[in-house]
Structure 1
Amino acid sequence: MASIETLLESADLPDSPSPRLDAEWLLAAALGKPASYLRAWPEREVPEAPAVRFAADLARRRAGEPVAYILGRQGFWSLDLEVAPATLIPRPDTELLVETALALLPATPAEVLDLGTGSGAIALALAAERPAWRLTGVDRVMEAVALAERNRRRLGLGNATFLPSDWFSALDGRRFALIAGNPPYIAADDPHLALGDVRFEPASALVAGADGLDDIRRIVVEAPGHLQAGGWLLLEHGFEQAGAVRGLLTTRGFVEVHSRRDLGGHERISLGRLAA
């Protein structure tokens, strides 16, 4: 048997941007322990069964499979979420949508919509922070809706509901104080689609036409029919798309249109308000 530190030092993940961290996550999961256990007891020997699982998971990571899919879990906001290949892996950049939504509306009762909910990350983060809000998350992929519902049940958040819908198609007559979404926004010929974790993520959640804006155009056009007077539309987009998205919002008649920057300094979300 090898020690924890020996296994971590010998883990070979040359293509990972964070090889040590990836190895720690995988070994901690194999042992059924938190990552802090590895640092507290580096000399502990690893039994055969978790060592075999660790080796198998390392092989999957070397092949490029995201750690989140290997573990079936990903942290987002304050939540630990189940993830699966049917949905995107929630990313820290998307937390800007949550932060902005929380700042725009008071903590009093409100109807809020999460478009393309995936694992339910945005809706569930908002539901956890605002018990008085009623969150609705929609996705056209049935596996995503089921996954979001499993996360909701496990987290015990009764103020969120998930249903299948191709954007607004199943929401006739419903209006919301705020609509947020992280729709597909990558151009079909973007070379980044062949690199890194996105190779394993569903193309339907990534690609949106020749310029990456097809889904955003549709959302901007249809959103006023589902917003309350004075309601907000918040959209995540690519770091070079802010100007184009602001233009779409302004042309559609939204006011107070602006963009906000993520921790990397990129304009990551754009938003506008439906005139009262």
Structure 2
Amino acid sequence: MTVGDAIRKAAARLSSTSDTARLDAELLMAHVLDASRSQMLLERMRDAAEDHLAEFEQLVARRLAHEPIAHLLGVQEFFGLDFAVTPDTLIPRSDSETIVRAALGAARPDARVLDMGTGTGALLLAFLDQRPEASGIGIDASPAAVRVAAANGERLGLADRAQFVRASWLDEGWAAPLGQFDLILCNPPYVETGAALDPDVRDYEPASALFAGVEGLDDYHAIVPHLGKLLFPGGVVVLEIGATQEDAVSQLARESGFAVTMQQDLGGRPRALILT
């Protein structure tokens, strides 16, 4: 059996559970070959697959059980950078690149940045990668997530400008030790409790980073009243929101003294609220 044959057979099996079955099969095979997908497609499709079939079949079986591709590969691309991911963090998604783009357009180039609920560190590290004069802190309630983010900072060569610490906005006095910032980024939990999610998300990503009460707004209520005290004069906040939450979160922000603008993601959905 050739590499191409194995990919075709796996894609047929994966089509029952994945909308990207062929891509999934290609990525998994490239992973076991220790090659890039493009290199595999150009140079390896006629190679014999026997030496790699056992490992490949194990990964395909896990994907059939809805385990996310990012967990199987251990990495997810975001804003042109590769981030290590684990089940302790949300997988960075392309929708969240809207937050980085909005921040790049709104914040000063040498901003001191706070990333709240940093997870893999994707928002902070992507911003710092684009702004060599900036520096920042990422906080997360999960010590395991903090370790993942710190490791990503090291891998990407940004550890000298990015610090990651354990802190939770649900704890008393959490904001006081952090100081003030020119830019605050935040992708908080905002899924309604009980919402129907794909098993790829529901069964494999941390519930604490997803769910935020019956309306999905609990964490915004905890976060937004503190933001003014965390900002330097002239600072800006960029919040990620769910597609139906623009009005509710905007009203909460205005009640805390902010002017609000909205930026859509590439799918045309409300995604980033910019608070000044």
TM-score (norm 1): 0.94
CA contact (8 A) 1:87 1:202 kept: yes
CA contact (8 A) 1:236 1:270 kept: yes
1:113 aligns with 2:114: yes
- Decide whether aligned partners of structure 1 residues 202 and 173 sit closer, same or farther in structure 2, where only a CA change above 3 A counts: closer
Name which of structure 1's ranges 230-239 and 179-188 shifts more when overlaid on structure 2: 230-239
Alignment of 1:183-194 (within 5 A): 183-192=188-197
Deviation at 1:171, TM superposition (A): 4.4
2:130 matched to which residue of 1? 129
Letter in structure 2 aligned against 1:186: V
- Decide whether aligned partners of structure 1 residues 173 and 160 sit closer, same or farther in structure 2, where only a CA change above 3 A counts: closer
Question: How far apart, CA to CA, are the structure 1 residues paired with 2:176 and 2:209?
Answer: 20
Deviation at 1:195, TM superposition (A): 3.5
2:58 matched to which residue of 1? 56
1:272 aligns with 2:275: yes
Output one character per residue of 1:239-272: Cα deviation in whole Å (capped at 9) or x when no partner.
Answer: 01111111111111102x1111001000011121
2:203 matched to which residue of 1? 199
Deviation at 1:173, TM superposition (A): 5.7
- Count of residues in correspondence between the two structures: 268
2:146 matched to which residue of 1? 145
Letter in structure 1 aligned against 2:208: S
Question: How far apart, CA to CA, are the structure 2 residues paired with 1:171 and 1:104?
Answer: 25
Name which of structure 1's ranges 168-177 and 2-11 shifts more when overlaid on structure 2: 168-177
1:155 aligns with 2:156: yes
1:73 aligns with 2:75: yes
Letter in structure 1 aligned against 2:92: P
Alignment of 1:37-56 (within 5 A): 37-41=39-43, 42-48=45-51, 50-56=52-58
Deviation at 1:233, TM superposition (A): 1.4
Question: How far apart, CA to CA, are the structure 2 residues paired with 1:79 and 1:34?
Answer: 15
Q: Secondary structure of the equivalent of 2:203?
A: helix
1:226 matched to which residue of 2? 230
Question: How far apart, CA to CA, are the structure 2 residues paired with 1:103 and 1:184?
Answer: 24
Over the aligned positions, Cα root-mean-square deviation in angstroms equals 1.3
- Decide whether aligned partners of structure 1 residues 133 and 161 sit closer, same or farther in structure 2, where only a CA change above 3 A counts: same
Structure 1: runs of 5 or more not aligned: none
Q: Secondary structure of the equivalent of 2:91?
A: coil
2:182 matched to which residue of 1? 177
2:2 matched to which residue of 1? 3
1:253 aligns with 2:257: yes
1:244 aligns with 2:243: no
CA contact (8 A) 1:88 1:119 kept: yes
Question: How far apart, CA to CA, are the structure 2 residues paired with 1:71 and 1:173?
Answer: 34
Deviation at 1:36, TM superposition (A): 1.1
Q: Secondary structure of the equivalent of 2:211?
A: coil
Q: Secondary structure of the equivalent of 2:71?
A: helix
1:211 aligns with 2:224: no
TM-score (norm 2): 0.94
Output one character per residue of 1:222-253: Cα deviation in whole Å (capped at 9) or x when no partner.
Answer: 11111111211111111011111111111111
Deviation at 1:106, TM superposition (A): 2.9
Deviation at 1:138, TM superposition (A): 0.4
Deviation at 1:115, TM superposition (A): 0.5
1:263 matched to which residue of 2? 266
Question: How far apart, CA to CA, are the structure 2 residues paired with 1:173 and 1:66?
Answer: 34
- Decide whether aligned partners of structure 1 residues 171 and 153 sit closer, same or farther in structure 2, where only a CA change above 3 A counts: farther
Structure 2: runs of 5 or more not aligned: none
Q: Secondary structure of the equivalent of 2:177?
A: coil
2:94 matched to which residue of 1? 92
Question: How far apart, CA to CA, are the structure 1 residues paired with 2:178 and 2:101?
Answer: 28
CA contact (8 A) 2:193 2:215 kept: yes
Letter in structure 2 aligned against 1:58: V
